[in-house]
Structure 1
Amino acid sequence: MELVGSTLTATFAHPRPTPSNFLPAISTMASSYKNRFPHYALTHSLSLPWRPSTYYKVAAITPTLAPFSKSSQGLTPSHALPFVSNRTALFTRYTPDDWYRATLTNYKESEASRHNAERLRVDTSRLIQEKDQQIRKTQNESTKNLGERVNDIVFWKSEINHEIDGMIGETNALTDMKKRVERALVETEGQLQVAQECLLHREKRMGIDLVHDDVEKQLMTEVDVIHSCQERMRRHLDKAIAQLASNRAAQHELEKDLSDKQTAHRIDDKCHHLRNTSDGIGYYRGVERVDATISVPDSWAKFTDDNILRSQSERAASAKLRDDIETMLVVTANEMWNQFNKANVAFTNRISETADAKNKIQTYLAKPLQEFLETEMSIEAFRKAVRSKSSPLKVAQTRLDERTRSPNIDLCRGLSPVRLGLVNEVYEIDDTIQGLQQRLREAEDTLQALVHTKANLEHDLAIKANSLFIDQEKCMGMRKTFPNTLRLVGYT
């Protein structure tokens, strides 16, 4: 039996349904189990911001199945039947066994709820610890990956820096070589001008000396050699300019990649040193769904490796070009120098020939001069002799003329010894004068020939002197200023 008004009648009258898997909050039972399981102390607060209303609603159900309850009879409190105090008017609702079983059921349900709550608390604690360990492991793995990424970036940065230093050195060396080619090209202009001026000066030779001799051939060959060397220098200079552009392009790619690596290193290093207690951390909702990457580790490493390989290839090509330019400068300098020496040898031989011819002309000129004087003396002697024969001729002719005036018989003709003697004398004197005049004319012709020869020798001597002056003074005077081998290969 129970006291009237007890709420347990409703519980006995309506047994509780099978407990659901939904359990009340642990915080609501914390005071009941405080310090009972100290070895399962939670590391974090398990207080929840909600309270299961189902449990409390079930526990607070008002009994409605009692036979004489007002609510079971459909009566409101204001229309409830009056309470009958006579116990005999009431009938027995439950037996004591029902009461004990209901109590035992409540005990079992309470114990089951307590066990479920304890199991949930233990599972929750274990789950929290496992998740904490898993998160720490994942975070450590991410930190390790970030550290490896930072090391990879540092490695590639060092490789890029090393390659940039090599490329800068190679570019500077190629720039110096380019300047050497430019200086050598300028030096060849002076040599070319000297050779061309020598050709122009030799065009001022006169007469028979204006010949296409070995000197002119060597000078023309020297001009051709200089033009050929200049053409090779210009080709290598164009190659050097193009190679410098390629070197700078490769260096620009490396510097751009290095700048990206430095930025990535700063970002990844910052991420690597971030901790749960670091400042500046916050929520970025949906960031895990954003994939802004444009490469994978393989393509990332290959990109830098390709840049380095390209730079190394350009450096190798630049080094080979420098060797080619060095060889070209040496070869062209030797070619120009050898041809310069050949032209000088030709000049020396020609000057020697011209000087020898000039000396011979001077020697031959001295002989006609002496003969010219003697011939003039002979001509004067012939003239004097002719003049000396005029008086005897006059005497003989006067005698003959006077005897023609003899009178009558005294004009004796025939073989008179006197007349024959006079006639013979006249003919003899006249033949003598004619012979002397013939020899005089011959002497005068000889004198004219000597004069002509003297003029020719003097003219030839002037030609030789002019040629000697051009070759020895003008041409060889200029060729003494020819640059040395060091300047031909581009050194100052």
Structure 2
Amino acid sequence: MDPCYAPPGMVTEPIRFPSLVTGCERNPSHAARAALYTRYTPHEWAQSNLEKYSESDTSRNLSERLRADASRVMRITDEETVKAQRESGRRIGERISDTTFWRDELASEAERLAAESGLLRDTKRALEKAISDLEAPLHIAQECLYHRENRQGIDLVHDQVEQALLREVESLRNSQDKLRKHHDKVVQQLRDNRAAQHELERDLRNKEGALGIDHTCHRLNNFSPGIHYYAGIDKYDPSVSVPESWEEFSRRNVQRSQAERGRSSQCRADADSLMAYVAAETWDHWSATNGALGRRSTETLEAKNRLQIHLHKVQQEIFDIEKNMDLLRKAIQDKSNPMKVVQTRLEARTHRPDVELCRDNAQHRLVREVGEIEASVDVLHRRLEEAEAQYQRLLCTRSNLESDLGVKCNSLLIDRDKCLGLRRSFPINAIPSHAC
């Protein structure tokens, strides 16, 4: 054993025991004398004991105080640790509540925005259908204008029907332009809605991920599996926001979505109003053009009937004047024999002898008769010439009437059969209620 050995924590110097038998084998008397002079006195022995007792009491008191302080520190640190863990859990729970609140707000707003986007897509399809539906009446109006270009002669006029058709074509084109512009506006609004929806969904996914992590953290305890040391993790701060900016970010996303929903709803209302206005205006122009076509067809039919009456009268007059011309020719022909008779009489009386060759009343009457017959023939010839001239005029009139009658028939065919035939039914299904 080491004579200088001292237990750990010993505050006193180690005790050295002198060898009482050192050199006793060589000189016993010398060893006894040395041991006598090196021994302690009883007082020193008692004092040494008292010192040991005091040192023991002191060491024990210090140890008891240390143990008491250690127990108190352990109790306090345990309480603080439990309190800190409980406070951290409570804060994580509050964070879970806040995140859940905004998660629900974001989810509700995302659903409302998705529903609004669905309605807006329906409006977009309705606008596209309205634009395509206007092609049919536009094509019909242009076809009517094309057909009416085939009118002939005097019927090729810029009448109310043509004016109505031109106004209808212009209105339909303007309506298509308005619908296309609003369609572009709806498409842009859909893009804005999708952008807001994307931000909501991204924020919602982040909230779901954060909730999953916080729920896991909230369920952890001192006996949970998978807990480890991560040295220095408390000094690592990867956060990019504070509670105020975090809440403001979600609030801004919700407000943006609400604003986009408001604009989208207004855009749908404007589209519905525009489509209703376009449908009503298209129906009004359609009805006005049909009314003008009906009136024009009635006027043309009336003119055609009158032309037929006049043609019948002219035809009858041509027949009558032909008979009159035949009578005049016959009358002229009938004057030839009386002329022969009177001229034969005059020639025969020129053969009277001598004094019998007298210019008597009979001679005067025969001469007057010749003049009268010649005058009658001249009158009859003039009347025949007049009748022939009038006959030619009547033939020309008949030709003009027949030509105009053909023009009127052609116009009737175009307006009543072709144009009104094309416009017999309204080519758009969505007819406004007042049009029924």
The partner residue of 2:318 within 367, 372, 382 is 372
**1:394 is aligned to 2:333:** no
Q: Which residue in 2 is equivalent to 1:468?
A: 412
**1:260 is aligned to 2:215:** no
Per the alignment, do residues 109 and 198 of structure 1 end up closer, same or farther by CA in structure 2, a change over 3 Å counting? same
Whether the aligned pair in 1 keeps the contact of 2:144 and 2:419 (CA below 8 Å) is yes
The partner residue of 1:247 within 186, 193, 200 is 193
| SS of equivalent residue, structure 1 residue 453 | helix
Please give the alpha-carbon distance, in whole angstroms, between the structure 1 residues aligned to 2:26 and 2:370: 222
**1:430 is aligned to 2:374:** yes
Per the alignment, do residues 354 and 101 of structure 1 end up closer, same or farther by CA in structure 2, a change over 3 Å counting? same
| Deviation larger for 395-404 or 266-275 | 395-404
Per-residue Cα deviation, 1:113-161 (whole angstroms, up to 9, x for no partner): 0100111011111111110111111111111111111222222221111
Whether the aligned pair in 1 keeps the contact of 2:346 and 2:363 (CA below 8 Å) is yes
The partner residue of 1:164 within 87, 92, 110 is 110
Deviation at 1:399, TM superposition (A): 5.0
**1:323 is aligned to 2:269:** yes
The partner residue of 1:132 within 74, 78, 97 is 78
Give the partner amino acid of 1:428: E
Per the alignment, do residues 52 and 269 of structure 1 end up closer, same or farther by CA in structure 2, a change over 3 Å counting? farther
Please give the alpha-carbon distance, in whole angstroms, between the structure 1 residues aligned to 2:328 and 2:199: 107
Q: Which has the larger radius of gyration?
A: 1
| Deviation larger for 422-431 or 188-197 | 422-431
Whether the aligned pair in 1 keeps the contact of 2:127 and 2:179 (CA below 8 Å) is yes
Whether the aligned pair in 2 keeps the contact of 1:187 and 1:487 (CA below 8 Å) is no
| Deviation larger for 469-478 or 80-89 | 80-89
Deviation at 1:228, TM superposition (A): 1.3
Q: Which residue in 2 is equivalent to 1:21?
A: none
Per the alignment, do residues 179 and 89 of structure 1 end up closer, same or farther by CA in structure 2, a change over 3 Å counting? closer
Whether the aligned pair in 1 keeps the contact of 2:283 and 2:431 (CA below 8 Å) is no
Q: Which residue in 2 is equivalent to 1:123?
A: 69
| Count of aligned residue pairs for this structure pair | 429
| SS of equivalent residue, structure 1 residue 212 | coil
Whether the aligned pair in 1 keeps the contact of 2:161 and 2:292 (CA below 8 Å) is yes
| SS of equivalent residue, structure 2 residue 261 | helix
Q: Which residue in 2 is equivalent to 1:107?
A: 53
Whether the aligned pair in 2 keeps the contact of 1:225 and 1:336 (CA below 8 Å) is yes
| SS of equivalent residue, structure 1 residue 283 | coil
Deviation at 1:190, TM superposition (A): 0.3
Per-residue Cα deviation, 1:180-220 (whole angstroms, up to 9, x for no partner): 11111111110111111111111111111111111111111
| SS of equivalent residue, structure 2 residue 282 | helix
Please give the alpha-carbon distance, in whole angstroms, between the structure 1 residues aligned to 2:27 and 2:233: 71
Whether the aligned pair in 1 keeps the contact of 2:133 and 2:428 (CA below 8 Å) is no
Please give the alpha-carbon distance, in whole angstroms, between the structure 2 residues aligned to 1:350 and 1:202: 12
Deviation at 1:403, TM superposition (A): 6.3
Whether the aligned pair in 2 keeps the contact of 1:250 and 1:311 (CA below 8 Å) is yes
| Deviation larger for 98-107 or 119-128 | 98-107
Whether the aligned pair in 2 keeps the contact of 1:181 and 1:233 (CA below 8 Å) is yes
Per-residue Cα deviation, 1:336-371 (whole angstroms, up to 9, x for no partner): 111111112211211121111122222222222222
**Structure 2: gaps of 5 or more residues:** none
Per the alignment, do residues 417 and 261 of structure 1 end up closer, same or farther by CA in structure 2, a change over 3 Å counting? same
The partner residue of 2:157 within 182, 196, 211 is 211
Please give the alpha-carbon distance, in whole angstroms, between the structure 1 residues aligned to 2:366 and 2:375: 14
Whether the aligned pair in 2 keeps the contact of 1:403 and 1:411 (CA below 8 Å) is no
Deviation at 1:52, TM superposition (A): 7.8
Q: Which residue in 2 is equivalent to 1:271?
A: 217
The partner residue of 1:359 within 305, 308, 320 is 305
Deviation at 1:54, TM superposition (A): 5.7
Q: Which residue in 2 is equivalent to 1:344?
A: 290
TM-score (norm. length: structure 2): 0.90
Q: Which residue in 1 is equivalent to 2:10?
A: 55
Please give the alpha-carbon distance, in whole angstroms, between the structure 1 residues aligned to 2:302 and 2:7: 136
Per the alignment, do residues 351 and 266 of structure 1 end up closer, same or farther by CA in structure 2, a change over 3 Å counting? same
| SS of equivalent residue, structure 2 residue 406 | helix
Per the alignment, do residues 427 and 121 of structure 1 end up closer, same or farther by CA in structure 2, a change over 3 Å counting? same
Whether the aligned pair in 2 keeps the contact of 1:219 and 1:343 (CA below 8 Å) is yes
Please give the alpha-carbon distance, in whole angstroms, between the structure 2 residues aligned to 1:55 and 1:140: 43
Whether the aligned pair in 1 keeps the contact of 2:20 and 2:35 (CA below 8 Å) is no
Q: Which residue in 2 is equivalent to 1:480?
A: 424
Per the alignment, do residues 89 and 253 of structure 1 end up closer, same or farther by CA in structure 2, a change over 3 Å counting? closer
Please give the alpha-carbon distance, in whole angstroms, between the structure 2 residues aligned to 1:443 and 1:86: 202
Per-residue Cα deviation, 1:236-292 (whole angstroms, up to 9, x for no partner): 111111111111111111111111111111111111101111111111112112111
| SS of equivalent residue, structure 1 residue 486 | coil
| Deviation larger for 338-347 or 434-443 | 338-347
Please give the alpha-carbon distance, in whole angstroms, between the structure 1 residues aligned to 2:431 and 2:27: 138
**Structure 1: gaps of 5 or more residues:** 1-6, 11-50, 71-76
- How do residues 183-222 of structure 1 correspond to structure 2 at under 5 angstroms? 183-222=129-168
| SS of equivalent residue, structure 2 residue 221 | coil
**Percent of pairs with identical residues:** 41
Per the alignment, do residues 236 and 430 of structure 1 end up closer, same or farther by CA in structure 2, a change over 3 Å counting? same
Please give the alpha-carbon distance, in whole angstroms, between the structure 1 residues aligned to 2:219 and 2:313: 113
TM-score (norm. length: structure 1): 0.80
